[in-house]
A and B are shown apart, each in its own frame.
Chain A
Amino acid sequence: MNRVLSAAAFGCAGLLASSLPARAHVVAGARVFPVTLTLDDPGVSDEVSIPALTYARDGADGGTGPTHEYDLGFEYDKTITPTTALILNDGGDVFQTNGSRTRTGLENLVVTGKWQVCTSAAHEFVVSLGISREIGGTGTSSTGADAHGSTTPSLYAGKGLGDLPIGLLRPFAVTGELSYTIADKGLKTLPAAQGGTGDGIAGAFNDGSNNAWFGGASFQYSIPYLQSQVRDVGLPSVIGSLVPVVEVNWSSPASAPSAQGTRWTVAPGLIYLAQWGEIGVEALIPANKAAGSTVGAVALLHLFLDDLFPHGIGRPIVQ
């Protein structure tokens, strides 16, 4: 880590130490669902990720060489009404392969409309629906951005266990996401004479994509909830602001031909909730052969605009 990064890290640490142990973000009754790192949270709010930094090395990303991949993801969520939001996602990729030139590029822009359909305060329950549109050709093709877009309807849900008579287990919560991506241009096998992209496997394919399923779940234990709803055990504010979390997700092609199999990833980590936002860090552990063989990592710095600017950009456009 160079000196600039070190100074920045110390600065962040200082801000962390001085912060109040408050928390956000999707709120259902006494339950606060923090922003998870590998799947979307179950509700809508005004927030921004600056950034989510993901690191993967060769096998963790399904590659064959010693390639280090850094993804710098940005997200901006803007509520239109208290229960609907428009979300913009984009990011940059850096690929460093030993012995080769470093490649950099942008990812395709993704626009999502999300509707928080149901919120039960008494049962700490949230359900949302979303539809995302990946705009093909807005990213850099040499680093993997598709020339063709896709459309992805999604279902999100979150449930806290605080309404159950289970004592110290009440701080547990589960969130989940299920998505189905419909590619604009399907993946097809090309006759050998036409070549195709090859896509790294035997046979040749066009530049289309598979339709695909994505599913994920997070299992989280909220220490803030423990302290404020179940038992104040007198923890220091920094520890009292932590949410240990394990996220599990999978993706699977849903159409033939398929260049890749179903991938499973497990991501254990910690989320620190503050008044202004959260910081999360998780390991990305491949859980099957298709997901690779090396452990990656993801870190998130996320700001809660509705808490920071409740009278400005942090409030819905239409109340």
Chain B
Amino acid sequence: MTSRSIAVVLGCAILALVPDTAALAHAFLRNAIPAVGSTIRQTPADVTLAFSESVEPAFSTITVTNAQGVRVDRGVLHRGVDDARLAIGVTPLPPGRYVVDWHALSTDTHRTQGRFSFTIVP
């Protein structure tokens, strides 16, 4: 076996030992409801964020603001259907553009943050 073969096999062997779906590190946004950048017709009951890792609701935040910068969320963050989802209720929303700001603390204390918008049309 050449040294090149050994290196490739060694790299893949290490890779194979790595758990790829366990609760690890940075929690990044995988998807959201309403979807990032989407245009919808009805006010959602909640804004729900799904992360790549489990997050700590007590140390995470989601705020939803309208075009004037006024908060339109109900202020109480709650866990979604699993440990990697967070949701927050919103008041009935008139047509307009809304911004979702989030800060997440994963269960191993890595912090991440992000911002996206969605639009409600009549």
Contacts and interface: CB of A to CB of B under 8 A. Distances in A.
B36 A227 contact: yes
Interface string B12-28: 10111011110011101
12 contacts: A8-B5, A9-B12, A12-B12, A15-B20, A22-B28, A30-B113, A50-B7, A51-B7, A224-B28, A227-B36, A306-B25, A311-B108
Interface stretch (A136-144, A199-207, A229-237, A285-293): A229-237
A22 B28 CA distance: 6
A307 interface: yes
A301 interface: yes
Contact of A20 (B20, B32, B113): B20
Contact of B3 (A15, A104, A276, A310): A104
Interface string A1-26: 01011001101100100111111100
A64 interface: no
B37 A231 contact: yes
A301 B11 CA distance: 8
B10 A72 contact: no
A252 interface: no
Interface residues of A, number: 48
Interface of B: 1, 3-5, 7-12, 14-16, 18-21, 24-26, 28-32, 35-38, 52-53, 108-110, 112-116
A58 B8 CA distance: 24
A29 B116 CA distance: 13
B47 to A, nearest CB: 14
A30 B51 CA distance: 13
Contacts of A310: 24-25, 108-110
A50 B52 contact: no
Nearest to A308: B18
